[in-house]
């Protein structure tokens, strides 16, 4: 059976996942706590990645090299860049790009040196399973959706597309629009996914990235993101993972 790596970009979501694990044991490496155990009988290693591309890359590498995971699902929140996205929507990544990578004039903007690539694709089959699990969660978790409605949020949308990562929290309309103009296929921004995609590409490990929109990457994003993370994000992502495990492994 495959050993699944579960990386979360927030401590709160990992706490919920670890609370539901059987035979959970913790090991500390490189300043991270790796929880090994089982979710509904599926062997998993769960870890909070910390924030930013370097933290995410070292965590992903440890999951692969030290813990031997052979598929990786990365969860977290993101700022919406595309005008079609609202807070609470879910985005499953098709490809990831580092919006702050720029080695011009040596190579084209966004190209990761010596790879010839600007975009790193996620695994199509794994991403489809995570997309379907997210759809299942939106269909079946009536209580959670009711709670969102009572707090003034609409019915969440589910999208699949490109995500941009960079070592920058985007909290300015001008910066957001510059990213949108230069990278028109990008749906949302966060700070880790593209780094994990590069690591998984180098090691040949299938990856899926799923993000819930916590803010709109503009002047309101700081407050919005904190509020969303406090109230909903952990439950949201935990439900998606639960559905993923139930629909695929039981
Ligand atoms: N993660 C959540 N919101 C974000 C934003 N606005 N910029 C970067 N990463 C984020």
Residue 214 Cβ inside 6 Å of ligand 1? The answer reads yes
CA atoms of 243 and 136, how far apart (whole Å): 7
Residue 188 Cβ inside 6 Å of ligand 1? The answer reads no
State if pTM tops 0.75.
yes
**15-44 average pLDDT score:** 95
Residue 81 Cβ inside 6 Å of ligand 1? The answer reads no
Domains in the chain, ordered, with CATH?
Answer: 4-244 (3.40.50.1580)
Looking at the annotation, which residues are catalytic? 13, 215
pLDDT at 180 over 70: yes
- How much is the pLDDT for 250? 64
Q: pLDDT, tens digit, for every residue of 82-132?
A: 999 999 999 999 999 999 999 999 999 999 999 999 999 999 999 999 999
- How much is the pLDDT for 184? 98
Mutation pick for ligand 1 pocket among 8, 179, 189 (CB with most ligand atoms within 8 Å): 189
């Amino acid at each position: 059976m495959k050993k699944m790596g579960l990386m979360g970009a927030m401590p709160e979501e990992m706490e919920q996942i670890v609370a539901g694990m059987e035979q959970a044991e913790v090991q500390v490496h490189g300043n991270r706590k790796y929880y090994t155990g089982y979710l509904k009988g599926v062997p998993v290693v769960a870890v909070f990645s910390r924030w930013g591309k370097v933290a995410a890359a070292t965590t992903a590498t440890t999951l692969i090299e030290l813990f031997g995971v052979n598929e990786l699902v990365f969860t977290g929140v993101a700022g919406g860049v595309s005008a079609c996205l609202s807070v609470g929507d879910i985005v499953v990544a098709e490809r990831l790009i580092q919006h702050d990578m720029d080695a011009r004039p040596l190579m084209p903007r966004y190209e990761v040196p010596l790879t010839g690539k600007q975009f790193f694709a996620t695994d199509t089959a794994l991403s489809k399973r995570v997309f379907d699990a997210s759809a299942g969660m939106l269909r079946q978790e009536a209580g959670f959706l009711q709670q969102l409605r009572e707090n003034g949020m609409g019915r969440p949308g589910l999208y699949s597309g490109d995500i941009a990562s960079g070592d920058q929290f985007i909290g300015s309309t001008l910066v957001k629009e510059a990213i949108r103009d230069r990278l028109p296929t990008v749906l949302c921004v966060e700070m880790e996914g593209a780094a994990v995609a590069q690591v998984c590409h180098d090691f040949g490990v299938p990856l899926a990235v799923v993000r819930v929109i916590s803010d709109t990457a503009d002047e309101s994003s700081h407050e919005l993101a904190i509020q969303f993370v406090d109230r909903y994000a952990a439950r949201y992502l935990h439900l998606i993972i639960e559905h993923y495990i139930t629909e695929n492994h039981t």
